[in-house]
Structure 1
Amino acid sequence: MPVRLVGRQVRVHLHASHLVVYDGRVEVARHERLMAKSGSRLDLDHYLEGLLRKPGALPGSTALEQARAAGKFTPVHDAWWAAVRKAHGDAAGTRALIEVLLLHRHMPHEHVVAGLAEALRAGALTADAVALQARKFAETDDHPAATDRPAQPIGSNVVSLTQRRLAQLPADTRPLPTVTAYDQLLRLHRRTAEGIRP
């Protein structure tokens, strides 16, 4: 069950094929029932708040391995995680990945994975960039006419804000700056320092 409920008394309903955990009247977990004796099934999502405090526990965790085996933690997740760790270091990169994994609570899995792939192509190695790209995919899915549109080339969803701002500015007609006057002052200063009068 979620790590935030550690120490609380919860109610468990055991069914033939699954079990459901309730905190009061709110369902907090649902798992497929394991038929093997002494088996365990961990949901990576339940540990994310704790992993934010201790990101070093994620790489070797059983929950991560089970998420990989179930296809919830995809090769795209791994590729983005490797890139962000290379750019920001292990702890900060893993925290960024955990923030991305938290997006799965509010967004469909396929949108988050598509956002990760797009952010990775663009070199955008922040959880905010992934969230933005995932929302863009969600918006195109929400519009029925979106399926009639021609496919956009890879990377076309990522907009450079600098290029966008520059495109809206008028042409700069000012002359290029010059430092000729300052060069003359330097020559004058050197002569004075050497004792030569102008």
Structure 2
Amino acid sequence: MPDERDMERSEDAAPPEETTPASDDDQPADGGGAARPEADDIARLRRECDEHRDRLVRTTADFDNYRKRTDRERRELAEHAAMDLLQDLLPLVDDFERALAADVQKGDAYRRGVEIIHKQLLELMAKRGVKPIEAVGSDFDPNLHQAVTHEPSPTHRDGEVIEELRRGYTLRDRLLRASMVKVAKA
């Protein structure tokens, strides 16, 4: 059986584990060994930053292209709408030319031609959403009427439109042109 001295010698032969110097990788986080994980984090963050920057540049380019495309489409739509309107007006121009070419001596034919043109023009405007404002007999409305003159009238209410000097029109619910009217004054 070994005695105490032999045991002491065997313990002295192997240095204790606590005194073994640690490698650089095993050092605590507050030492120089922490530099490697920080470098990995920095590299990862730089990659993420580059990805976000690239995404931002692409999104900005996509938005600029979208804006340019919508501007172009808007211009084309406006040109197309104007073209449609002009094409719709051409038959009216033709009718005016026929009416002007009619024999002035025959007043009824000339008047009939102008009536046809007027009717076609009103139909075209109605088709596009334009409606005349009914003014005579209604109360004066500054949103729809422009009072040119006020006239005393014992047969009309105060503020009633008694004569329309120039017809006004609305496009759907928006005012295109106010009616020029004469308004009764009590």
Higher relative contact order (CA 8 A, sep 6+): 2
TM-score by length of 1: 0.18
Larger radius of gyration: 2
TM-score by length of 2: 0.19
